[in-house]
Amino acid sequence: MNHQSGFFQSSPPRRFPRGEVLVAASPDRFAEEAAGWLIERRRALAAATGVMPVTALSGGSTPFPVYRELAGRATTDPRALSGTWIQVDERDVPADHPDSNQGMIGRALLARAPPDLQWVPVPVGERADPRRVVATYERHLRACRGGHSGPADLALLGLGPDGHTASLFPGTAWADDGEGGPWCAWYFVEALGTRRFTLTLSALAAVPHLVFLVTGAAKASLLARILSGEADHLPAAALAARRSPVWLLDPPAAAALPS
């Protein structure tokens, strides 16, 4: 797919061993450009297939302004949020907890949801038994996707300073699920002292269109290593090695890339 659009035009797209990079004009423009690019991507996928794509959303601070920008676009363009949206991952907290990904997505994006938007969240209300949470979410996603090989058509991902993405953290068994295995899993993350619910590595690798949102100079060096193929032992890099993504960056995040 041609990833050119009316956004991210300040510098040409660049190919790396672990994906294609697009850089926003400035940090202040990142949310606007990323939201516009994503709307155009989803429309292009809908035009190709006849239906709006199933889109998987990550939590964290980086996507929040992007989701808020998407919601703002929906005030004048309701189709901007049409279709089905699912979660990439969730913390082991109730939906009304300040740390909840679901709560953040609700505040930033879903408050202006059009009538034809379908939201499929991780069922954290069943958090007493993590096996039941992931089994229920898996069942919901399989029902939503019918015979598709992956849980979504497009997934928005972040990059942690330790190389994690979704809730696939170094030090957990994130690499143990084989192809064709479950879409959902839970892991206890020792570094955080808590458990996380997440789409698995093989499930994310089965998503045709992966998009990483990365901002800030603190991740520039790590990102350069991942894009060059020098850090494939890390979850984000291992995923990028299996399914070449698009990386949407602000200029500080791109600062360590070769010129």
Identify the pLDDT of residue 43: 93
**In the 3-class helix/strand/coil scheme, how is 176-223 assigned residue by residue?**
CCCCCCCCEEEEEECCCCEEEEEECHHHHHCCCEEEEEECCHHHHHHH
Residue ranges in the chain whose pLDDT is less than 70: 1-5, 127, 178
Residue 2 resides in a domain: no
Tokens of 66: 């992007």
Residue 213 resides in a domain: no
Residue 254 resides in a domain: no
Residue 50 resides in a domain: yes
Q: Which of 140, 109, 144 is nearest to 126 (CA)?
A: 140
With residue 37 as reference, give the H or E element that holds it. helix 30-49
Residue 93 resides in a domain: yes
Identify the pLDDT of residue 127: 66
Identify the pLDDT of residue 126: 72
Burial class (CB in 10 A: 0-12, 13-18, 19+), 13: middle
Residue 256 resides in a domain: no
Q: How many domains does the chain have?
A: 1
Q: Are 250 and 26 in contact (CB under 8 A)?
A: yes
Tokens of 92: 């082991």
Tokens of 234: 């890390």
- Which residue range forms the structural domain that includes residue 109? 16-157+243-249
Report the predicted TM-score, pTM, of the whole model to 2 decimal places.
0.95
Q: Count Cα neighbours of 87 within 13 Å in the Cβ-side half-sphere.
A: 29
CA distance readout (Å), 113 to 84, 107, 117: 11, 11, 6
128 CB contacts (<8 Å, ≥6 apart)?
A: none
Residue 103 resides in a domain: yes
Q: What is the CATH number of the domain that holds 133?
A: 3.40.50.1360
Identify the pLDDT of residue 147: 83
Identify the pLDDT of residue 2: 45
